[in-house]
Chains A and B, each alone.
Chain A
């Protein structure tokens, strides 16, 4: 113990108001930024893992449906054969990527944190309100969603056998591109605070699978006219608004009316964020 005794103690403590946080105007804001820095550090450390987890599903989807299928003569077309399947799938895959990223980057780590690791404890003790820690989770998740799309976009644009015909409307792309990752991350927060580690496999079967298959990713929502009950039923699925939003922003194919898309995005985002913040508080405070 002599080694310890000889070192001048940096841990010396005297009276209450010490440390730079006391001198900063908005310590909570500084803490918020530092939480983002921490997440960025973790992301760079786990970049390969991140890449693989981000790319694998979109790559498989695009490769099988838009390269293998048309090449072996098993082609799928839409709008009475007017549109190639890749034109349908591109917005869908981008939407799915954002949603899945929300689950991967927000929900799953939170389930572990609250379930057993309690690693988030130190961040909860950072000098900012508990709700702000939850908001940081959403922001970090949304940023990861954006990064994921940047990674995935070249894949969906280049892999298909038949060139993808994009028709970008920049205004919509900007708006949807900013809203969509927040919806994905908010859904991640809601799921992450509600689900226990044991329920994760169930969550995939009961929530994620139906959401991704019925999220207007593999078919345009407008074409569901043929199955009216389903066209109505899928409106509770947040992914529908992401897919239709990107369809509207990236292609010239018919989509859900813009007002409905934005209303859906805002409503789903707001609702899942509210549930997530409530759930987070419930898991953190007794």
Chain B
């Protein structure tokens, strides 16, 4: 086997259920910060009194626009930025008091490519493991296993300059995992990747997390945070404005689901008439759960608290009224909506 066996006691703390700690019986947090603050010499309060708790096994996201302070928080948690005030522990280690020890329990994937260009793909993994006291054999075996897992075996002997953006990013993640860190940090891991590589990376990260890896990721893409994270902290100007599961965040801002309903025209090419749309609007507006409906862009938009269970009722109502439905699309409330409601601004500007 390639994995070093974890001590029995430690293995029991596997994160599968720790991701949803029972009330009261919460496990020791993987990350705990208290009033964590960074004021740069310029006087800028990049991070201002942040309290964060990340549970073992959790996939945690820091979501915020550029300059929100995400990288600075990761910097402090990974021993690279000295906090001006406050405290931070990762896997129980005080990152300020014991930086060298803290580095043993964390794996970091920084925002830019920092692969060692003087080494081959395999050697990037191998020497990383050697830094962490893996013997030659152990390091070699683990490198091969991770190359396999991250689909880089074909490239094992090339220099890292020859990797595509997606491969380089996978190698960076593999390298960060070589020493079996308790905590994996990723700073905007999908910036600059093409959509396909981004989706592939999402799957990869989800799988890692399902296998028990605790992950903290920063992003300014709200779909990314929504898709990947168990919990998301929404950041702006160095403050955490809200931290919760994406679903709960959306619920708290009273965001709504929008269902767009298209009506069939009289023929293939002809769009439905205004009368037809108006009648459909009337029918759908009366369906329980729909707050209000309007005709927009040749479709009927139904605004509802939630799309859950709503679609069958909409279809039935339309059929009973004899209007019928040719297409349905649902847009759930997004973290974008949450961000706007918290800050009054758009996430990307």
Contact = CB atoms under 8 A, between A and B. Distances in A.
Which of B2, B6, B104, B150 has the most chain A CB atoms closer than 10 A to its own CB? Answer: B104
Which of B11, B93, B100 has the most chain A CB atoms closer than 10 A to its own CB? Answer: B100
Question: For the side of the interface on B, what is the size category?
Answer: 35 or more
Interface stretch (B59-67, B73-81, B295-303, B332-340): B73-81
A233 interface: no
A256 to B, nearest CB: 39
A126 B131 contact: yes
A284 B133 contact: no
Interface stretch (B108-116, B222-230, B259-267): B108-116
B80 A19 contact: no
Contacts of A5: 207
Contacts of B3: 10, 12
A23 B133 CA distance: 9
Given A9-B208, A18-B6, A127-B101, A37 B130 contact: yes
Contact of B211 (A9, A18, A27): A9
B134 A285 contact: no
A13 B181 contact: yes
Contacts of B108: 125
Interface stretch (A40-48, A154-162, A182-190): A40-48
A121 interface: yes
B132 A126 contact: yes
Contact of A11 (B30, B138, B203, B213): B213
Contact of B110 (A3, A31, A121): A121
Contacts, number: 180
Interface stretch (B117-125, B250-258, B274-282): B117-125
B151 A20 contact: no
Interface in A1-53: 1, 3-5, 7, 9-24, 27-28, 30-31, 34-35, 37-38, 41-42, 45-46
Nearest to A132: B100
Contact of A119 (B116, B128, B151): B116
Nearest to B149: A7
Interface stretch (B172-180, B238-246, B322-330): B172-180
A25 to B, nearest CB: 10
A119 B118 CA distance: 9
A15 B13 contact: yes
B118 A45 contact: yes
Contacts of B105: 16-17
Contacts of B2: 10
A231 B130 CA distance: 49
A14 B2 CA distance: 15
Contact of A14 (B14, B82, B118, B151): B14
Contacts of A7: 148-149
A235 B124 CA distance: 44
A4 B145 contact: no
A121 B175 CA distance: 12
Contact of B149 (A11, A117, A286): A11
Contacts of B14: 14-15
A41 B123 contact: yes
Given A1-B200, A13-B181, A118-B112, A285 B80 contact: yes
A7 B119 CA distance: 26
B78 A125 contact: yes
Nearest to A109: B118
Nearest to A124: B80
A15 B179 contact: no
A18 B72 CA distance: 27
Nearest to A284: B80
Contacts of A225: none
B204 A4 contact: yes
Contact of A38 (B93, B127, B203): B127
A41 B104 contact: no
A285 B82 contact: yes
A77 interface: no
Interface in A87-136: 117-119, 121-130
B132 A17 contact: no
Given A1-B200, A11-B213, A18 B131 contact: no
A1 to B, nearest CB: 5
A20 to B, nearest CB: 4
B149 A4 contact: yes
A138 to B, nearest CB: 18
A12 B211 contact: yes
B56 interface: yes
A37 B6 contact: no
Contacts of A18: 4, 6-7, 10, 180, 182
B119 A38 contact: yes
15 contacts: A4-B150, A11-B208, A12-B213, A13-B208, A14-B10, A16-B105, A18-B180, A21-B179, A27-B100, A28-B100, A37-B130, A118-B110, A118-B114, A125-B108, A129-B100
Interface of A: 1, 3-5, 7, 9-24, 27-28, 30-31, 34-35, 37-38, 41-42, 45-46, 117-119, 121-130, 284-286
Q: Lowest 3 CB-CB distances: which A-B pairs, in order? A: A15-B10, A16-B91, A126-B131
Interface of B: 2-4, 6-7, 9-15, 30, 40, 56, 72, 75, 78, 80-82, 91-93, 99-101, 103-106, 108, 110, 112, 114-119, 123-124, 127-128, 130-135, 138, 142, 145-146, 148-151, 174-175, 177, 179-182, 184, 200, 203-204, 207-208, 211-214
